[in-house]
Structure 1
Amino acid sequence: MTPTDIDLVQSSFAKVLPIKETAAELFYGRLFDIAPEVKPLFKGDMKEQGRKLMMTLGVVINGLKDIPSIVPAAEALAVKHNAYGVQPAHYEVVGAALLWTLEQGLGPDFTPQTREAWTSAYTTLSGVMIAASTRSLNGTEQTA
């Protein structure tokens, strides 16, 4: 990720924050439309799940200028998601739902450059999470 990518992700997410509840609803609606098989993985209150999603995104996005600082939290989250039944293949549909949500929420502000920056950020972090998830599922997780 370039510094410009990070700035684009952070500035565009700032524009999403005022509509974060709607954005979370859009995200989960889209996720369940394109991957109905993941819906049973969500057993709790979806409004609370949406709040957690937006809070987690905020933490990650604020940490993009120092990715090594957010890697341990991303890895721990991936391992935690294993317990819910999340599979490495699910990360692709989550990324697609996220990009679609951003496009809906940002409208014309979701430029091709902004899409590319978000794709880079998501690819970077989902790669970290998939690796941690796979290590955990294979029983090769190392503790610090």
Structure 2
Amino acid sequence: MNTQEILTLQQSFAQVEPIADTAASLFYGRLFELDPNLRPLFKADLKTQGEKLMSALKLVVIGLDNPERIIPAVQSLGQRHAGYGVRPEHYATVGAALLWTLEKGLGAAYTPEVESAWENAFALLSGLMQEAAYQPA
């Protein structure tokens, strides 16, 4: 990711962070609408799960300035999610729910540049997560 994309992510996330609870609720609502079969994978209550989601997003968005620092955490996250039953095909649904949530949360601030930056970030991070989770033994 280039410097401008990282800055775009950080600025857009700063706008979402004040509505973190709403954003998390929108995300999970959309995720389960897109694929109701994912609901059983979430054992914790969705408020707690939403807090974890927003915390992980914040860690990643802030850490993109120095990706070497966050790669181990992202890989570990991928391994944990595989243990919860997340399969590779679920990542596309998560990405779609994330972009939809950002569009709803940011409103007019959800520009093509913002969308592209988040698409690129999600592709990078979900790729790292899947490599760590599903690499052959």
TM-score range, shorter chain: over 0.9
- 5+ residue gaps, structure 1, are none
Q: Which residue of 1 aligns with 2:82?
A: 82
User: What is the number of equivalent residue pairs in this alignment?
Assistant: 137
- 2:38 partner letter: V
The Cα shift of 1:2 comes to 1.0
User: Which secondary structure does the structure 2 equivalent of 1:120 belong to?
Assistant: helix
Give the Cα–Cα distance (whole angstroms) in 2 for the partners of residues 82 and 126 of structure 1: 12
Tell me if structure 2 keeps the 8 A contact 1:88–1:133: no
Whether 2:58 is the aligned partner of 1:58: answer yes
Whether 2:45 is the aligned partner of 1:45: answer yes
Alignment TM-score, normalising by the size of structure 2: 0.98
Percent pairwise identity: 50
Structure 1 stretches of 4+ moved >6 Å: none
The Cα shift of 1:133 comes to 1.0
Q: Which residue of 2 aligns with 1:113?
A: 113
Alignment TM-score, normalising by the size of structure 1: 0.93
Give the Cα–Cα distance (whole angstroms) in 1 for the partners of residues 41 and 107 of structure 2: 30
- 5+ residue gaps, structure 2, are none
